[in-house]
Structure 1
Amino acid sequence: MNILEPQLNTRYCDLVAAHLKYLTVDTRDRSVGCQGNHEATRYVAEFFSAHKWRTEVPSFRALDWHTDGATLTAVDGTEFHVFASPYARGCDVHAPLTAVSTVEALEKADTANKLLLLHGPIAATPLMPKNFPFYSVEEHQKIIALLEKSDAVGIICATTRDSVAAGGVYPAPMIEDGDFIIPSVFTSQEEGERLLQCVGQNLTLISQSRQIPTRAANVIGRINEGALQRIVVTAHIDAKKGVPGALDNGTGIATLLLLSELLADYKGSFCIELVALNGEDHYAVPGQVAYMTTNRNTFDAVALNINVDGVGYIEGETAFSLFDLPADMEQSAEIELLSQPGACKGILWPQGDHSMFVQSGCPALAVTSNWLLENMAVQTITHTNSDNISLVAPDKVVSCAISLKRFIEAIS
């Protein structure tokens, strides 16, 4: 940990705790476009402005959603435990059940006017949204196309556990896509096995899910705007619907807020741009798309992206992952970041907002908790109610922010 005067360190730790309380307890829901999300962006904008950063809050269209639950019932009254897929359309349908477990079976199945159960290999991994802007998976696109041509009246996905793709939640939705046209729900693999006994029988699926067109915003603070090149420090402000999102990514936003104070008197050679991106946990990443669209002709002026996502976990070290840093920046990173107590060099992980900078040819530094990297495939924290402030060590967040401040000053 970076050494500070005890009183100053205590003040920063208290400040982190206050930020996290507001973002994860007082605000409750930070999913894109909801009321809590608006409150969180306003909170960050006001803090940036109070520390004399020129602040913008560019808005964009987004899709919020709400559900009052879903039910699946057999004719004899047997009930099956299902959940509305996030951002899905609602339905109230009564139809025979059919099931497929592979793409090949889906291609051949008679699914018109039926409820379709996806189970086994075809339901093993969440599908990338069909219009996801940064990359696509060919097999996923094929499955989506087949489903949308199937004329099924509703889709039931019996998913397996996949902590890498879905976070810690189980069961997790296979389809999380507001552009997908067929109503869908999801359930556990075990419940799917029960449902297989009902193939050919009529079932009633009611999903009280509704899509809500809305607006949301990124928050951008800048200092030293006259510089030719800029360092862009990012952290996503949104969280999954209804979860606290302390590590994912309240601590990243707390780091941005600390940096807005620590760098308020920055006099270096770069423009510093602090960006609270709104959409990393949303199927359409709308804030990231809005930022990319606005800056599509200026990425050659980005000297470095620093993305903070998941720092401050109570166990383990803070991981700094270096993506194509120039030699002088890498040397400074070794001194100011990797050589500090409680720090380590992280693996090159793609699941974050730094990827859009890397894909645009920019050097990037991704910062997270090494425990999350090491346990990505088995952890049960992210995207769940377990992701709360009890799992955060505020002193690690403070240490991260101070190390980044010193690193930025060193490369300037």
Structure 2
Amino acid sequence: MISLPNHTRSISSESQGELLDEVERHLRFLTETVEDRSVGSPGNQAATDYAHDVFSKLGWAVEEQTFEALDWEDGVAAITVDDEHRFGCSASPYSDGCDIQAPLVVATNLDDVRQLPTDGALLLLTGPIAQAPLLPKNFPFYKDDAQQDIIAALEASGAQAVVTAASSAPMIEDGDFGLPAVFVSEDVGQALVGHSGRHVRLVSSCRRRPSAARNVIARINDAEPERIVVTAHIDAKKGVPGALDNATGVTMLFLLAKVLDTYAGSYAIELVALNGEDHYAVPGQLAYLQANPDLGSACVLNVNIDGIGYREGKTAYSFFQLGANFEEAAKAILTAQDQACEGIAWAQGDHSMFVQAGCQAIAVTSNWLLENMFTQTITHSQADTMSLVDPEHLLNTTAALKRFIEAVDQNQH
């Protein structure tokens, strides 16, 4: 039987108002004062400076991991046909810009890409081939052979640039992709199909910009050989507020730093603001893994916080590879709360790299977002603002995680 801490509350009622004020202050800085937290951007640098300052003022030892990262600047993009018809389009994130004139070739499947006369063309992808976004070709954690075949065929096609026609998001978001790329709506794609074979002009003024970024790591009780690592990604998609994705997760790191500032138990505690979950190359995650080759043995547990605090529904805790003691404590303390539940296993987060290294892990998110992962249009959009956040969820989850850490620590003795 798991032994629970004697107290029933981890955050006193007297501190509730103070912590709510802090939540608002942190979220406002990360989502409004900073206008763009994409990796390598000036706003991203400001956000990591802010995290370093918060952790330091709370007395935690702070380390930064600096790494190269490609930043990107958007620009105007348009397709014109014979100077008569103009079609609006958007540059695919992290694409090179271009100004080309070429015959338009339409491909609806991989055989078209391989067999049609695409050399020197502007290649329009529509229909079946454009239905799913392509993973970045060098994505380190997962490969899809069918998608790799499409990417290889496009890069070998001899086309000057690629236009993708899909329902919403860009099909290509990859700074390693070898061709300039833009995307259009399905309706615009169908209109362009009518100009197949004609010479068209594509102008896209976006550009890539070499930059650098940092992970921010705060530690306490660092002499202990085993550690509990709590992660939240500090970056966001280019140009979006990123309140739920993932300013709330970073704010929870700050809250945990405050309520665990006197922790002196059996584990080292590491709070990590990772920088790259929403970047095609996940550079911060790779930098962290490179600096921690012993992750599977040194990290006894990862808690990854991403998408926490949505105003509707409960907080979801998903468990991965938990041993009996950790699972018992998690179910007794975390999912037993009125506003919490056990979530489905999901792989689209930074906990996955810990799971792949053999670590126990708990992923924490909003259950509504988890249940609507493939249909919701909030995250990665301009709608992801502070107005969607219930700060009480952050405080309740912070209190629960504090009690959980104390419980598993107590049962080490």
Which TM-score band applies after superposition, normalised by the shorter structure?
Answer: over 0.9
Q: Deviation at 1:210?
A: 0.6
What secondary structure sits across from 1:129 in the alignment? Answer: coil
Q: Does 1:176 align with 2:183?
A: no
Summarize the alignment of residues 185-334 of structure 1 with structure 2, pairs less than 5 Å apart.
Answer: 185-334=182-331
Rounded to whole Å, the distance in 2 between the matches of 1:16 and 1:2 is: 19
Indicate the residue corresponding to 1:368 in structure 2. 365
Rounded to whole Å, the distance in 2 between the matches of 1:211 and 1:37 is: 16
Match of 1:89 among 91, 96, 101: 96
Q: Does 1:13 align with 2:48?
A: no
Rounded to whole Å, the distance in 2 between the matches of 1:344 and 1:214 is: 41
Indicate the residue corresponding to 2:334 in structure 1. 337
Rounded to whole Å, the distance in 2 between the matches of 1:193 and 1:141 is: 26
Match of 2:47 among 35, 40, 52: 40
Indicate the residue corresponding to 1:411 in structure 2. 408
Q: Does 1:132 align with 2:139?
A: yes
Please, which moves more after superposition, 300-309 or 373-382? 373-382
What secondary structure sits across from 2:171 in the alignment? Answer: coil
Rounded to whole Å, the distance in 1 between the matches of 2:305 and 2:164 is: 33
Which string of whole-angstrom CA distances, capped at 9 and with x for unpartnered residues, describes residues 225-267 of structure 1? 1111000000000000100000000000000000000100001
Indicate the residue corresponding to 2:33 in structure 1. 26
Rounded to whole Å, the distance in 1 between the matches of 2:97 and 2:9 is: 51
Match of 1:109 among 104, 113, 116: 116
Rounded to whole Å, the distance in 2 between the matches of 1:319 and 1:228 is: 30
Q: Is the 8 A contact 1:319 1:370 kept in 2?
A: yes
Identity of paired residues, percent? Answer: 51
Q: Deviation at 1:5?
A: 4.3
Rounded to whole Å, the distance in 2 between the matches of 1:203 and 1:400 is: 55
Rounded to whole Å, the distance in 2 between the matches of 1:278 and 1:298 is: 18
What secondary structure sits across from 2:284 in the alignment? Answer: helix
Match of 1:153 among 136, 140, 160: 160
Q: Is the 8 A contact 1:2 1:399 kept in 2?
A: no
Q: Is the 8 A contact 2:232 2:253 kept in 1?
A: yes
What secondary structure sits across from 1:180 in the alignment? Answer: coil
Q: Deviation at 1:76?
A: 4.2
Q: Deviation at 1:297?
A: 2.7
Q: Is the 8 A contact 2:295 2:354 kept in 1?
A: no
**C-alpha root-mean-square deviation of aligned residues, in Å?**
1.2
> Structure 2: which amino acid aligns with 1:26?
T
Q: Does 1:50 align with 2:57?
A: yes
Match of 1:384 among 373, 381, 384: 381
Rounded to whole Å, the distance in 1 between the matches of 2:166 and 2:271 is: 38
Q: Does 1:347 align with 2:344?
A: yes
Rounded to whole Å, the distance in 1 between the matches of 2:407 and 2:202 is: 60
Rounded to whole Å, the distance in 2 between the matches of 1:73 and 1:397 is: 49
Rounded to whole Å, the distance in 2 between the matches of 1:190 and 1:347 is: 36
Rounded to whole Å, the distance in 2 between the matches of 1:218 and 1:110 is: 46
Q: Is the 8 A contact 1:325 1:364 kept in 2?
A: yes
What secondary structure sits across from 1:384 in the alignment? Answer: coil
Q: Deviation at 1:299?
A: 2.7
Rounded to whole Å, the distance in 1 between the matches of 2:133 and 2:159 is: 19
Rounded to whole Å, the distance in 2 between the matches of 1:223 and 1:114 is: 58
Q: Is the 8 A contact 1:2 1:341 kept in 2?
A: no
Indicate the residue corresponding to 1:167 in structure 2. none
Q: Is the 8 A contact 1:2 1:340 kept in 2?
A: no
Rounded to whole Å, the distance in 2 between the matches of 1:387 and 1:263 is: 29
What secondary structure sits across from 1:182 in the alignment? Answer: coil
TM-score normalised to structure 1 length: 0.96
Q: Is the 8 A contact 1:89 1:209 kept in 2?
A: yes
> Structure 2: which amino acid aligns with 1:72?
I
Structure 1 residues 5 and 53: alpha-carbon distance in aligned structure 2, compared to 1, 3 A threshold: closer
Rounded to whole Å, the distance in 2 between the matches of 1:298 and 1:292 is: 8
Q: Is the 8 A contact 2:108 2:130 kept in 1?
A: yes
Rounded to whole Å, the distance in 2 between the matches of 1:245 and 1:58 is: 22
> Structure 1: which amino acid aligns with 2:40?
G
Q: Deviation at 1:22?
A: 0.2
Indicate the residue corresponding to 1:168 in structure 2. none
Which runs of at least 4 in structure 1 moved beyond 3 Å after TM superposition? 1-7
Rounded to whole Å, the distance in 1 between the matches of 2:313 and 2:193 is: 43
Which string of whole-angstrom CA distances, capped at 9 and with x for unpartnered residues, describes residues 7-38 of structure 1? 31121111111100000000110000011000
What secondary structure sits across from 1:121 in the alignment? Answer: helix
Q: Which runs of 5+ in 2 are unaligned?
A: 1-7
Rounded to whole Å, the distance in 2 between the matches of 1:76 and 1:18 is: 51
Q: Is the 8 A contact 2:237 2:380 kept in 1?
A: yes
TM-score normalised to structure 2 length: 0.96
> Structure 2: which amino acid aligns with 1:103?
L
Q: Deviation at 1:4?
A: 5.1
> Structure 1: which amino acid aligns with 2:402?
K
Q: Is the 8 A contact 1:115 1:153 kept in 2?
A: yes
> Structure 2: which amino acid aligns with 1:224?
N
Q: Deviation at 1:148?
A: 0.5
Which string of whole-angstrom CA distances, capped at 9 and with x for unpartnered residues, describes residues 58-80 of structure 1? 10000000022211111142111
Match of 2:130 among 123, 130, 136: 123
Rounded to whole Å, the distance in 1 between the matches of 2:294 and 2:22 is: 37
